[in-house]
Amino acid sequence: MDMAAVTDLLKKNFALDLENSKVLVVGLGNTGISVARYLQKLGFNFAITDSRDKPPMIEVFLQQMLDTPVFTGGFDEAAFNVATHLVVSPGVSLNEKSIIKAIANGAKVVSDIDLFACSAGVPIIAITGSNGKSTVTTMLGEMAKSAGKKVVIGGNLGTPALDLLTPAAELYVLELSSFQLERTFVLNATAATVLNVSADHLDRHADIAEYAREKQQVFNGNGAMVINADDPVVNAMRQAGRRIFTFSIKKEADFYIARKDDAEYLMHNKRRLMPLAELPLEGRHNAANALAALALGVSIGLDEQAMCNALRTFKGLDHRMQRVAEIRGVTWVNDSKATNIGACVAALQGYQRKVILIAGGDAKGADMTELTPIIKEKAKSVVLMGKDARLIEQALNRSIPAYSAGNMVEAVQIAARLAQSGDNVLLSPACASLDQYKNYQDRGEQFTKAVLALLP
């Protein structure tokens, strides 16, 4: 879209105009700097504030936007007082006192996703859920490429949305978090899905019902809805009068799994799409991810066989059920991206034999007793580490052997002593990583390094 059309939409939807608006960008991380570049390109009057003394992108900002006001080391009240619009980064809670006061004084909240939606000009597919959204986003991107589309993917995954904008794009596939969706108002995705809902981010959301409501925002508008028929919370999000596509790994749906001629197949209605055995990813939850991606692709008219060809070569994501090594008959699997209970549950459900589980970190307010049944069923022992390791140990209540580790090297060494040939050792923390690591990637890399150090 040309700039005049974009600024017209921003004025119509948010009373955001070049002459009178004063935008305050709150947070100077990857999202904040992407918003700043966007506003600078369009010619808006804006400033930036960050509570940290040295935000992650401050050096980039000072090099590229020397004349733009920036306030660090706390939220500057004067900046909030004059702002007509706030673009609040997902990492910043809307419950900050300065933000609440500014909104009460008439400032409008606009998200980077709102700005993106007013600027894209081509179909957008929006993907959210507690687990699997990065996998489905990446899968669908590969499917669209295989079907000949010029597709761009990002959002909560990788590149911030506003940095994705390009005239060459024919389709955008966005992964969106609950924090992005809670402050997004004009997104009308051509197709959208909530993959599942389980306890997550309860340190920021009041309860799981509020968390689910924020996820449901992805269905605002009139696009196709892709519904997980196995998740009662998601199933209740259906809206009358909308195109709906369902997927299930437990029963018949629009997209499902069926046994035919002694083999299981991914199905679309009554038609076989491909044998499940040709999907090169571990775990039943990845079959659900594939079905969701197929449903989204079909909803926008992608060729089914082109999509299946992409699935056959899809290798998965780093730190998501990633096989690290087999050492003395023991298989070591890195699922560091399992930053909540639901992701850990999905990983454990994919195993037929009991595993040795490495878990723990920052539970983010989640109830660790929800892990107890699946760990008792699927783990022969657990190695616990991090800030909330004790919560998991208490939840298990000595039902299976539990060991404590101070760091990843120690956790891997304990697991190596416990493991016998034929065992799987799974790092699937069920917790965030920031209590001990830079991020889940760093945690996964430390696991990989510790495992490879076991090699003779």
Catalytic residue, from 30, 131, 156, 286: name it: 156
Catalytic residue, from 201, 205, 337, 378: name it: 201
* Contact assessment for residue 432 and residue 339, using Cβ atoms and an 8 Å cutoff: yes
In degrees, rounded to 5, the angle at the alpha carbon of residue 193 between the alpha carbons of residues 218 and 344 is: 110
Q: 288-321: string of b/e by CB count within 10 Å (b at 16+)?
A: bbbbbbbbbbbbbebebebbbbbbeebebbebbb
CA distances from 411 to 357, 398, 454 (A): 10, 19, 12
Collapsed DSSP state (helix, strand, coil) of residue 144: helix
Count CB atoms within 10 A of the CB of residue 17.
14
Q: Please, what sign has the CA dihedral across residues 65, 71, 92, 387?
A: positive
Collapsed DSSP state (helix, strand, coil) of residue 145: helix
**What phi and psi, each to the nearest 5 degrees, are found at residue 248?**
-160, 145
What residue type is 26 in one-letter code? V
Catalytic residue, from 108, 133, 205, 378: name it: 133
Active site residue 270: no
Active site residue 285: no
Cα distance between residue 280 and residue 286, in whole Å: 9
Chain-centre distance for alpha carbon 60: 26
Q: 326-346: string of b/e by CB count within 10 Å (b at 16+)?
A: ebeebbbbbbbbbbbbbbbbb
Active site residue 145: no
- Lateral strand order in the sheet of 322-327: 322-327, 330-334, 424-427, 355-359, 379-384, 402-404
Cα distance between residue 267 and residue 271, in whole Å: 6
In degrees, rounded to 5, the angle at the alpha carbon of residue 211 between the alpha carbons of residues 209 and 213 is: 70
Collapsed DSSP state (helix, strand, coil) of residue 104: helix
Cα distance between residue 114 and residue 204, in whole Å: 21
Chain-centre distance for alpha carbon 12: 30
Give the residue numbers annotated as catalytic, written as ranges.
133, 156, 201
